[in-house]
């Protein structure tokens, strides 16, 4: 790949990210329906041509923005696990499932904007089959990622699932979303939202995981 091609690719990616950042700000101010392509372009400092060279529609842009929220959520958890592993703290975690969840989720990417965005995209997906298909595929990828994360933690800490890992991941994601939405509705700030979400997930973890039974005494 030539230097020119690399430079062009980097500029295109930078433009794409600026449009996404601008869309997040516009969305926070006016919501998905009122967030026009023109408003996003004005905020980013680009023309409509720049927008449509990166995204086919406003819906595609906001779906990509929702995907970024999901990746940041999973990425924050993966980074936390990696940090615990490097520090030797992962091996020292107790086998209590709720305490493991609290420590693993000590760093989280959840915020009010992310919750609003995911909720809006979900509502629009109910009315738009193409958007629904993309959203469901994105949700499935998120579920697989979470299932792998909790499977790795369970294996490291000698925990056993009471249900299949995929079902555990789906249930934890449902609780995660529900708890975050309730916190936003109640007007809690990001820190309080994360605290409440982590507590709800910790309680669910106690139902989904168990320490393996010890040896039977004769």
Q: Is residue 216 part of a domain?
A: no
Q: What is the mean pLDDT of the chain?
A: 82
Q: What is the mean pLDDT of residues 127-137?
A: 86
Q: What is the mean pLDDT of residues 101-113?
A: 72
Domain at 87, CATH number = 1.10.357.10
pTM of the model: 0.75
Kindly tell me if the per-residue pLDDT of 217 is higher than 50: no
Domain count, the chain: 2
Which range marks the domain in which residue 41 is found? 1-55
Kindly tell me if the per-residue pLDDT of 212 is higher than 90: no
Kindly tell me if the per-residue pLDDT of 1 is higher than 90: no
Hey, CA dihedral for 138, 140, 146, 149, is it positive or negative?
Answer: negative
Residues 149 and 42 in one domain: no
H/E element, 160: strand 160-161
Residues 96 and 145 in one domain: yes
Last residue of a domain, one of 55, 74, 91: 55
Residues 80 and 10 in one domain: no
Please say whether the beta carbons of 138 and 63 come within 8 A: yes
Residues 45 and 72 in one domain: no
What angle, 0 to 180 degrees and rounded to 10, lies between the N-to-C axes of helices 112-127 and 165-185? 110
Domain at 11, CATH number = 1.10.10
- Banded model confidence at residue 2, pLDDT cuts 50, 70, 90: low
Kindly tell me if the per-residue pLDDT of 74 is higher than 60: yes
Query: Alpha helix (H) ranges present in the chain?
Result: 3-30, 37-44, 48-52, 58-87, 89-92, 97-104, 112-127, 129-156, 165-185, 190-208
Q: Is residue 78 part of a domain?
A: yes
Residues 154 and 183 in one domain: yes
* Per-residue pLDDT reduced to its tens digit, 6-64: 666 788 889 999 999 999 888 878 887 888 999 999 999 999 999 999 999 888 888 88
The pLDDT, as a whole number, for residue 37 is 93
């Amino acid at each position: 790949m030539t230097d020119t091609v690399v430079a062009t690719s980097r500029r295109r990616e930078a433009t794409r990210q600026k449009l996404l950042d601008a869309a997040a700000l516009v969305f926070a101010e006016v919501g998905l329906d009122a967030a026009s392509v023109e408003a996003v372009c004005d905020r980013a400092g680009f023309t409509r041509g720049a927008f449509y060279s990166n995204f086919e529609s406003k819906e595609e842009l906001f779906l990509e923005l929702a995907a970024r929220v999901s990746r940041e959520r999973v990425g924050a958890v993966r980074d936390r696990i990696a940090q615990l592993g490097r520090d030797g703290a992962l091996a020292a975690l107790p086998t209590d499932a709720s305490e493991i969840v609290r420590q693993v989720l000590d760093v989280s990417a959840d915020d009010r904007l992310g919750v609003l965005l995911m909720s809006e995209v979900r509502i629009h997906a109910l009315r738009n089959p193409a958007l629904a298909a993309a959203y469901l595929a994105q949700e499935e990828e998120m579920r697989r990622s979470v299932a792998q994360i909790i499977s790795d933690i369970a294996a490291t800490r000698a925990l056993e699932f009471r249900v299949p890992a995929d079902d555990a991941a789906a249930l934890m994601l449902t609780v995660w979303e529900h708890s975050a939405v309730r916190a936003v509705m109640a007007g809690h700030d990001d820190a309080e939202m994360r605290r409440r979400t982590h507590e709800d997930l910790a309680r669910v973890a106690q139902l989904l995981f168990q320490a393996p039974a010890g040896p039977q005494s004769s």
